[in-house]
Amino acid sequence: MATPQTRGNWSGRAGFILAAAGSAIGLGNIWRFPYSTAEGGGGLFVLIYVVFVLLIGLPVLLTELAVGRETGRNPVGAFKKLVPHSWWPAVGGLGVLTGFGILAFYSVIAGWTVGYLGMAVSGKLGAAVDGESSAAIFGSFVANPLWAIALSGLFLLLTVLVVRRGISGGIERLSMVLMPVLFFLLMALALRSVTLRGGLDGVAYLFTPDFSELSYRVIIGALGQALFSLSLGMGAMITYGSYMSKTENLWKAGGYVAMADTGIAILAGLIIFPALFFAQADVTAGPGLVFVVLPTIFNQMPLGLIVAISFFALLTIAALTSTVSLMEVCTAYFVDERGWPRKNATAVIGAGCFLLAVPSALAFGAVSGLSEGGWFTWDFLTLNNNIWGNYSLSIGAFLICVCAAWKWGVPRLLEALEGVAPRYPIPMRGVLTFMIKFICPLAVLLVLIFIVVTGEYF
């Protein structure tokens, strides 16, 4: 079994925060958040989302980090240590499986971002002059089975190459270089977008809640997005927490990660909505927003080529720092529990994931209902997203809260959170206790009931 020395560690707080923020910040922020915001009516969705990050996301994030650091194990090993001789390790097992399942469809969409980056660089995206031509480019791109498979394979290979180098030498080093680049690109793009003619209308759309849009779907959607965006419910943060030193203050570290993730989602909104208002494009284009609508807008704006290249580079970077965290959850399981060498584990997971990614890559119907005419009559990518990204994450988040609050116990959770750092003020401990015992499990349970009863997803 791997020992703390052989498992690896973050080199310090900055390394951990950048890596954990890298896991959280991904396609969820830049691809999914904007179209969910548009579907949820703009400012109202953003407001509810931010409230959920604070009230539900942050407590669950702190809990996962505390469980990970206290046990120093992958999700399965963590639950074995928390509640020995019980069925709770199965919750960790579900997390590992979920990481694998998400990686298998996430890498397909990540592959598209690389393809779009290539098309932007080679000038091919220049032909996306209006909605129709852009949809045609997207349609023929995702419909090309060889490209879709090769690019998701390439993305998985990149992920393997990072994760096999370990925690500080692989994941942390990648995040230390790429996260500042990501931040710089985002700031530059947001500045470009906000200063476009009509851009401020997009800003107003993002920040002015229209309460007539309020519905249970908006509320449930915002909560689901908060879980997915913060990488919660599958043990990614348990795993990342397990490499953290006892001297770190998890309240602060968790707070920074949640703040960075939310800030970047809003920055992504500040890129996309002003651009949409500038071009007077349809804001409710759904999942096709980034791939179909944005290229047409880039072609209308000054410096559009540079903006397009930067944007798809940004999306690729954000996706890579997230796929490494998904793969790390599975890798940590094989290293800790099965004693596999890290390099073998990453090779096997990468190859297995690739096999599962192939049907998703061939479904080419994930976005804007293009599934007709696909190689499969049903859309494997959407199916995977629903099973792993919706059901499984919600079930996982619910059970993690219940186990930590009711089985392990809040006093131990609070102690684990603080490590050897000074105690936190009583009111904050009280709020966390109340949230994690009652509000978080209840809220996540409601999401689950909603998606089971209505068959709708986030």
Cβ 327 vs Cβ 159: under 8 Å: yes
Q: Does 170 bind ligand PFF (CB under 6 A)?
A: no
Q: Is 23 in the site for ligand PFF (CB under 6 A)?
A: yes
Query: C-alpha dihedral over 24, 427, 66, 96, to 10 degrees?
Result: -50
Matching residue, tokens 């927490």: 241
Q: State which of residues 28, 41, 170, 441 lies at the interface with ligand PFF (CB under 6 A).
A: 28
| Residue 190 identity | A
Binding mask 330-359 for ligand PFF (x = CB under 6 A): ------------------------------
- Enumerate residues 92-151 that contact ligand PFF by CB under 6 A: 99, 102
Give me the least distance between CB of 225 and ligand PFF, in Å please: 9
Q: Does the protein bind ligand PFF through residue 229 (CB under 6 A)?
A: yes
Phi, psi of 36 (to 5 degrees): -65, -40
Nearer to ligand PFF, 38 or 234 (CB): 234
Q: How far apart, in whole angstroms, are the C-alpha atoms of residue 90 and residue 334?
A: 15
Instruction: Name the residue nearer to ligand PFF (CB basis): 101 or 288.
Output: 101
| Residue 124 CB neighbours (<10 A) | 15
234/417 with CB nearer ligand PFF: 234
Position with the least CB separation from ligand PFF: 28
Looking at the chain, the number of H-run helices and the number of E-run strands are: 23, 0
Contact between 193 and ligand PFF by CB under 6 A: the answer reads no
Q: Which of 2, 48, 234, 451 binds ligand PFF (CB under 6 A)?
A: 234
Q: Which is nearer to ligand PFF, 57 or 153 (CB)?
A: 57
User: Which residue lies nearer to ligand PFF by CB, 58 or 301?
Assistant: 58
Q: Smallest gap, in angstroms, from Cβ of residue 26 to ligand PFF?
A: 2
Q: What is the largest CA-CA distance in the chain?
A: 63
DSSP string, 382-437: HHHIIIIIIIIHHHHHHHHHHIIIIIIIHHHHHHHHHTTSPPPPHHHHHHHHHIII
Picking from 72, 272, 256, the residue whose alpha carbon sits closest to that of residue 179 is 256
Confirm or reject binding of residue 168 to ligand PFF (CB under 6 A).
no
Give the residue with the Cβ less far from ligand PFF, 236 or 435.
236
- Binding to ligand PFF (CB under 6 A): which residues in 263-322? 322
Question: Could you count the other beta carbons within 10 Å of the beta carbon of residue 115?
Answer: 23
**Is residue 250 part of the contact set for ligand PFF (CB under 6 A)?**
no
Per CB under 6 A, the list member of 270, 314, 326, 395 interacting with ligand PFF is 326
* Shorter beta-carbon distance to ligand PFF: residue 26 or 77: 26
Which three-class secondary structure state does DSSP give residue 166? coil
- Inter-helix orientation angle 43-52/250-279, to 10°: 170
If the CB atoms of residues 23 and 390 are measured against ligand PFF, the closer one turns out to be: 23
Q: How far apart are CA 47 and CA 15, in angstroms?
A: 30
| CA separation, residue 334 to residues 2, 31, 100, 101, 443 (Å) | 10, 31, 12, 16, 32
CB neighbour class for 206 (10 Å; exposed up to 12, middle 13-18, buried from 19): buried
What CA–CA distance (Å, rounded) separates 316 from 182? 10
Q: How far is the CB of 353 from ligand PFF (least distance, A)?
A: 14
Structural contact between residues 102 and 234, judged by C-beta atoms closer than 8 angstroms: yes
Nearer to ligand PFF, 322 or 331 (CB): 322
Looking at residue 73, the DSSP 8-state letter turns out to be S
397 near ligand PFF (CB under 6 A): no
Which region among 64-72, 224-232, 371-379, 413-421 touches ligand PFF (by CB under 6 A)?
224-232
Q: Is 228 in the site for ligand PFF (CB under 6 A)?
A: yes
Q: Which residue of 24, 78, 314, 357 would you call a contact of ligand PFF, by CB under 6 A?
A: 24
Q: Binder to ligand PFF among 56, 219, 236, 400 (CB under 6 A)?
A: 236
The answer to the question of residue 27 lying near ligand PFF (CB under 6 A) is yes
Selected range binding ligand PFF among 19-27, 58-66, 126-134, 139-147, rule: CB under 6 A: 19-27
Q: Which is nearer to ligand PFF, 119 or 268 (CB)?
A: 268
Size of the site for ligand PFF (CB under 6 A): 16
* Nearest by Cα to 24 from 56, 67, 53, 55: 53
C-beta of 440: minimal distance to ligand PFF in Å?
17
Q: Which residue shows structure tokens 């990204």?
A: 389
Contact 327, 334 (CB under 8 A): no
Positions that interact with ligand PFF (CB under 6 A): 23-24, 26-29, 99, 102, 228-229, 231, 234, 236, 322, 325-326
